[in-house]
Amino acid sequence: MLRVKRGCVAFLMLGLFARAAIGGPRKVIIDTDPGTDDAMAIMLALNSPEFDVRALTVVPGNVTAAQGLENALRMVSLADRCDILVAGGAQHPLFQKLVTAEFWHGKNGLANVELPPSKCKKDPRWGPDLIIEMVHANPHEITLVPIGPLTNIALAIEKDPSIVPLVKEVVIMGGSITGGNVNASAEANIANDPEAAQIVFQAGWPLTMVGLDVGDKTLLTRKHIEAFKKNPGPVSDFMYKVADFLIGLSEKFGETGTPMYDPLAVGVALDSTLVKAPAMHVDVETRGEFTRGETVANRRGANERNVLHHFPDGDRYVIEGLDKVEPNAKVCTEVNAEKFLQMFVSRIQGK
Ligand code: RIB
Ligand code: CA
């Protein structure tokens, strides 16, 4: 009997090691301000076998903290995933008033779709605390996917900076190096909490920025969502209604499709070959009159070195060389949009 038992234990251990070696599903925490495109991102993540979504932490942005928490709870319930922890977090940005976006997401933030009341219960912990606890409990295994303002992530870093080297990677939806969407310079997630974003960008962890530069090239159209009608299900029906609302809004502004901002961040976390993402140093402007909330990327990786000289005709600075600037982010600049859109549609239809 003992010999058989030893054999079973050895086989089990081998299986566990093999699973670890080939990499089982990635442990993921999504920080979200749900939000119509957040909803599509969350449903993509829940229907991707590469991901083991452990928690949703909710941040105010598209909607208030309370509305976002209710929306997150209703979505995990719709997907029959009450095993996923759902926790509220910050109630407002670090230093500015919240700007909510019902204009773009509908009164309830979910395209005015009334989902059934949730069967799931919220986790009693505060979102940043939940992130801290889960990172320490799963060192070097957690992928953070923030797809809203970065308030919760910044609070987690400020409360416990030791999590930074323990996080596997951070893939954010946010920022832009080709102009903003809330104004000429700032993208909504960064604009809603620039100080939080600067903390997150300067933390020193592996960060990928999935910004407007690629989101605006990844448009979901009516052609794509027809597949949801052909293959109905509770989730794909919900996704059809959300996408129909968003595409209708885009059509009002002369566009044919809706940018898949948040879902693409999940897509990049799933498959980084979907994008080209050169390493750059990114700072977040927090003081500019016209540029507060802009993600300012140094594409050349250097700053000119100016040295003050005293000349007979007066003092002036003289350029005397270039100083290297260490990158702190991979900035997505190109995307295989159709490959991602097919991934999204194929994983959601029929669910
Ligand atoms: O700029 C787009 C981002 O702002 C997305 O995350 C969207 O959900 C909104 O939060
Ligand atoms: Ca969002």
> pLDDT tens string for the chain (351 positions)?
444 455 555 555 554 454 444 578 999 999 999 999 999 999 999 999 999 999 999 999 999 999 999 999 999 999 999 999 999 999 999 999 999 999 999 999 999 999 999 999 999 999 999 999 999 999 999 999 999 999 999 999 999 999 999 999 999 999 999 999 999 999 999 999 999 999 999 999 999 999 999 999 999 999 999 999 999 999 999 999 999 999 999 999 999 999 999 999 999 999 999 999 999 999 999 999 999 999 999 999 999 999 999 999 999 999 999 999 999 999 999 999 999 999 999 999 989
Q: What is the DSSP string of 268-308?
A: HHH-GGGEE--EEEEEE-SS-TTTTT-EEEESSSEEEEEEE
Q: Is 261 in the pocket of ligand 1 (CB under 6 A)?
A: yes
Asked if residue 166 belongs to a domain, the reply is yes
Ligand 1 atom 1: residue of nearest CA: 188
Neighbours of 96 (CB within 10 A): 15
Q: Is 188 in the pocket of ligand 1 (CB under 6 A)?
A: yes
Give the distance (Å) from ligand 1 centre to CA of residue 252: 19
Query: What's the pTM value of the predicted model, to 2 decimals?
Result: 0.93
| Amino acid 19: pLDDT | 46
Phi, psi of 30 (to 5 degrees): -105, 125
Q: How far apart are CA 270 and CA 21, in angstroms?
A: 18
Ligand lying nearest the CA atom of residue 188: 1
Ligand lying nearest the CA atom of residue 61: 1
Asked if residue 38 belongs to a domain, the reply is yes
Q: Is 146 in the pocket of ligand 1 (CB under 6 A)?
A: no
| 263, 36 Cβ separation under 8 angstroms | no
Q: Is 293 in the pocket of ligand 1 (CB under 6 A)?
A: no
Asked if residue 34 belongs to a domain, the reply is yes
| Amino acid 132: pLDDT | 99
Asked if residue 247 belongs to a domain, the reply is yes
Domain count, the chain: 1
Q: Which residues contact 335 (CB under 8 A, 6 or more apart)?
A: 214, 217, 218, 264, 274, 275, 276
Q: Which atom of ligand 1 is nearest to the CA of 215?
A: 2
Give the distance (Å) from ligand 2 centre to CA of residue 108: 14
Q: Is 31 in the pocket of ligand 1 (CB under 6 A)?
A: no
Q: Is 60 in the pocket of ligand 1 (CB under 6 A)?
A: no
68 to each of 1, 39, 62, 262, how far by Cα in Å? 55, 11, 8, 15
Q: How far apart are CA 190 and CA 172, in angstroms?
A: 10
* Residue 161 region by backbone torsions, left for phi larger than 0, else alpha for psi between -120 and 50, else beta: alpha
Asked if residue 16 belongs to a domain, the reply is no
Q: Is 38 in the pocket of ligand 1 (CB under 6 A)?
A: yes
Q: Is 128 in the pocket of ligand 1 (CB under 6 A)?
A: no
Asked if residue 249 belongs to a domain, the reply is yes
Give the distance (Å) from ligand 1 centre to CA of residue 334: 19
Cis amide linkage into residue 254, ω under 30° from 0: no
Which tokens sit at 82?
A: 């009450």
Ligand lying nearest the CA atom of residue 36: 1
Asked if residue 309 belongs to a domain, the reply is no
Phi, psi of 20 (to 5 degrees): -65, -40
**Helices (DSSP H) in 84-147: which residue ranges?**
102-105, 127-137
Ion ligand 2: residues, CB < 5 A: 33, 35, 38, 147-148, 262
Ligand lying nearest the CA atom of residue 37: 1
| Amino acid 11: pLDDT | 54
Its domain, for residue 113, covers: 24-283+326-348
Q: How far apart are CA 201 and CA 245, in angstroms?
A: 33
Asked if residue 296 belongs to a domain, the reply is no
The CATH code of the domain that includes 149 is 3.90.245.10
Give the distance (Å) from ligand 2 centre to CA of residue 223: 24
Q: Which atom of ligand 1 is nearest to the CA of 37?
A: 8
| Amino acid 20: pLDDT | 46
Give the distance (Å) from ligand 2 centre to CA of residue 310: 52
Q: How far apart are CA 42 and CA 36, in angstroms?
A: 10
Q: What is the dihedral of CA 179, 180, 181, 183, to 10 degrees?
A: -110
Ligand 1 atom 10: residue of nearest CA: 148
Q: Which atom of ligand 1 is nearest to the CA of 61?
A: 10
Q: How far apart are CA 38 and CA 188, in angstroms?
A: 13
Phi, psi of 219 (to 5 degrees): -105, 120
